[in-house]
A and B are shown apart, each in its own frame.
Chain A
């Protein structure tokens, strides 16, 4: 059935990503192009209209059920909580917040997840992220708390970080999330802008006197940048779904007015950032896609952590593009899922 013209046009892409992945991410790319206005404003109504969302579901599907919680009424900060279920029986609503620890699971990892979207797109209830979070539950036998943080350009830095911090504190103080040692075993995770948020929330936890210990950070294609144009940005500009121009737009939308990309939010190891030496920062797993134009910044981040004496493992996937972890139809997906599982279980 496939016409040969299409096959040849797509040949180069097909070698890199499966066709349905290409369709998915190209669709996002083009739709997102419509949403970003040259004057820096964002077509939020159209964005929400186009975004495919799913409701929470307290009925277990494939061993996972979910429910939403308003963590902070004042800002309507919502989280979607995903829990593993041993039975097919729908939990009683009174049991949704039943203690996670049990005889079979004395230690339960709680992963606070920040979805991607370059600070402007997507939500905790976006279908792509609901699916990813559900996978993480099964993979790590964890509870996942997906944060519906405030987005740019309506809410610039530091709103997303503040929301992350609020949820981190909320998670820490939930008795039902404690393991048998009466502590909540917390990991931070995120992709794209979510990875960036995870870093900054972990930093805040480490630098504050909150006593909140984050056991590990999992950063998937984290969004970092800087004023300098790196080699990977020049080489891969516009080649695999992402362009330098759109990255610049999102940074302008997120960073404070007048800031440049060396602002520490964007460039945590840049000229304007404080040193991380001596900071009790969690261990990190950083996944870098070899066809992501931001990779030089991501590798610089890894280097920065190492130089500051922090523990970090980087996983470089040569032929991966952005979004490879959204569909389980490629080898990179499985590699990364295995690494995440190992990382969580060995650090929990």
Chain B
């Protein structure tokens, strides 16, 4: 790799430099000609992938210009851009096929979650859809609410009983900090919190106790995001000091409720769903039967938008099967089934053949591929989707390995992973604490910006409080818990990449179309102007100002 260019964000092998230079010259000539002929608009419509791979980028640009497609006879209001290229992206530097894909992303706003709410039942729709409808939702899944034994004994030993993946120990050298508040009091507050964490790490209970109380006082004199963040961190520290650990077994429906409010208040979950759906849509491009396995169904908020997008596919929707996984519910209420029913109803109204199955599991590691009724890959394309679920497995050694091999056994066309962009899983408590403090400070700050909704202030502030509670519970878990109880073991994209690649997955790149649509989504739904989408070697990250906070990456089985 040319080191000088690498520092500037471009990966070019020194041995390829002359070749890349020549292609750049060719590209320039091709672009010059194109402009003369007045077809330079093609440049705007092409989808770009992974700009860091300069050689790949130049190759794909050259193929756009040297093999122009026949003029599109499609209806200009044709909705979805044709993503009929295979493998959705450069899985390791290979260039695209040369077809140009019209980037009609202007029209894809229908695929934005939030727009695709559960529709009201419409009589006329039902009639027309009835012939194509085949609601096997619910019906066939009576037997599907399979509870995995919630035994406390560990599952059968995995193939490789190696030590926990070393990526957990990779030192993350980057510490991005965005300071919003440079007031004197804010700095003292942070200082006190850090000193308290230090005292806790050194088991100096007396000092820690004094400092945590002092933090309370300081926090009270602050306002806004800083006050809230400090309060949650102080509370978490207090719990750790006094060993009053929070119980994680809160009613899942309560945590789902909190998450719904978080979904409403700020764009993080919408971004997660949107970008994952984009990758899934591209992977499913020509499949006639598709199966999505959702590692954390919750209220199923991600799926209406995907289903709507599938329904609008030129040539008609595929048959859509959804397998939703969720934790055991108290009182035997079947949350999964209820969500399944709602989605089935939606499917009916939009004319998508739909099948649903729910699985109750204490841990994803309890999942076995045989349970999922997988069909052959040439019959049904599979997508595995995990939004903020995988990190929970890092507390158990071998849990992650098991899940990754299970995923491979599902033979997925695509695996979408959305995770928090932070290392909250380091071995040293103070480091973890500091990371988390920066991370949640940015997150809370962005909420302050977003929740200023003039239309309905009461609902807005309610949403805000619930969102803060949602995040507060994460903070508590990161700071106060240990061992199996500490489930919020966030790791960075760099760490996840290493893990996925060593487990036998290749990256599938998200392109400029997904980037653009995500940015447009932000403009529509995000109150604050501070949100930024960033492209990172084929993954997309959403951040507040310059601090990335969540990352979406997509994967396929390595060849």
A59–B173 contact, CB under 8 A?
yes
- Which residues of B sit under 8 angstroms from A6, Cβ to Cβ? 18-19, 21-22
Q: Which of B10, B52, B177 has the most chain A CB atoms closer than 10 A to its own CB?
A: B177
Give the shortest distance, in Å, between B535 (CB) and chain A (any CB). Answer: 5
Q: B515 at interface (Cβ–Cβ under 8 A)?
A: yes
B21 touches A22 (CB 8 A): yes
Residue interface bits A20-53, CB-to-B below 8 A is 1, else 0? 1011101101110110010000010110111011
A10 touches B24 (CB 8 A): no
* Whole-angstrom distance between the Cβ of A247 and the nearest chain B Cβ: 17
From B180, B512, B535, contact of A70 by CB (8 A): B180
Asked if B5 contacts A23 (CB within 8 A), the reply is yes
B16-37 contacts to A (CB < 8 Å): 17-22, 24-25, 27-28, 31
The answer to whether A34 and B7 touch (CB under 8 A), given A49-B515, A70-B180, A94-B191, is: no
**Interface residue? B163 (CB, 8 A):** no
Given A20-B17, A23-B5, A97:B10 Cβ within 8 A: no
Interface residues of B in 506-559 (CB under 8 A from A): 512, 515-516, 519-520, 529-530, 532-535, 545-548
Give the residues in chain B near A128, CB-CB below 8 Å.
8
- Tell me the residues in window 68-112 of chain A with beta carbons closer than 8 Å to chain B beta carbons: 68-70, 73, 76, 78, 80, 90, 92-94, 96-97
| B327: interface (CB < 8 Å) | no
If A20-B2, A127-B7 touch, whether A59 touches B175 (CB-CB below 8 Å) is yes
Q: Are B512 and A55 in contact (CB under 8 A)?
A: no
Q: Is A274 an interface residue (CB 8 A)?
A: no
| A93 and B177 contact, CB distance less than 8 A | yes
Contact A94 B8, CB 8 Å, known A30-B24, A57-B176, A61-B173: no
Task: Tell me the minimal C-beta distance from A83 to chain B in angstroms.
Answer: 12
B475 to chain A, nearest CB (A): 16
By the criterion CB–CB under 8 Å, are A67 and B179 in contact? yes
Give Cα distance in the complex from A93 to B193, angstroms.
11
A179 within 8 A of B: no
The total of chain B residues at the interface (CB under 8 A) is 60
Asked if A55 meets B547 with Cβ closer than 8 Å, knowing A19-B21, A70-B179, A76-B529, the reply is yes
B162 part of interface (Cβ distance < 8 Å): no
Are A23 and B17 closer than 8 Å at their CB atoms? Answer: yes
* A125 CB–B CB distance under 8 Å: yes
Distance from B239 Cβ to chain A, minimum over Cβ atoms (Å): 23
Check A15 for interface membership: any CB of B closer than 8 A.
no
Which residues of chain A are within 8 angstroms of B15 by Cβ–Cβ distance? Answer: 1
A53 near B534: Cβ-Cβ < 8 Å: yes
Report the nearest A residue to B517, measured CB to CB: A45
Given contacts A20-B2, A55-B546, contact A68 B177 (CB under 8 A): yes
| Bound Cα distance A92, B15 (Å) | 42
A54 at the interface (CB under 8 A from B): yes
Once A9-B22, A93-B194 are accepted as A-B contacts, the answer to whether A30 and B176 lie under 8 Å apart by CB is no
Q: Is the CB of A26 within 8 A of B21?
A: yes
Do B177 and A131 have beta carbons less than 8 Å apart? no
* Distance in Å: Cβ of B517 to nearest Cβ of chain A: 9
Once the chains are docked, how many angstroms separate the CA of A34 from the CA of B35? 10
Alpha-carbon distance A34/B57, docked complex (angstroms): 13
User: Cβ of B9 < 8 Å from any Cβ of A?
Assistant: yes
Q: List 21 A-B contacts (CB under 8 A).
A: A9-B21, A19-B18, A27-B54, A29-B28, A30-B27, A30-B31, A31-B51, A43-B44, A45-B516, A56-B176, A59-B173, A59-B175, A68-B547, A70-B530, A92-B194, A93-B194, A93-B437, A94-B194, A125-B546, A131-B7, A328-B4
* Sample of 18 more A-B contacts, CB < 8 Å, known A26-B28, A96-B179: A23-B17, A27-B24, A29-B28, A30-B24, A30-B31, A33-B31, A46-B516, A49-B515, A52-B52, A55-B174, A58-B177, A59-B173, A61-B173, A70-B180, A70-B530, A78-B178, A92-B191, A93-B434
List chain B positions with a Cβ less than 8 A from chain A.
Answer: 2, 4-5, 7-10, 12, 15, 17-22, 24-25, 27-28, 31, 43-44, 48, 51-52, 54, 58, 61, 173-180, 182, 187-188, 190-191, 194, 434, 437-438, 512, 515-516, 519-520, 529-530, 532-535, 545-548
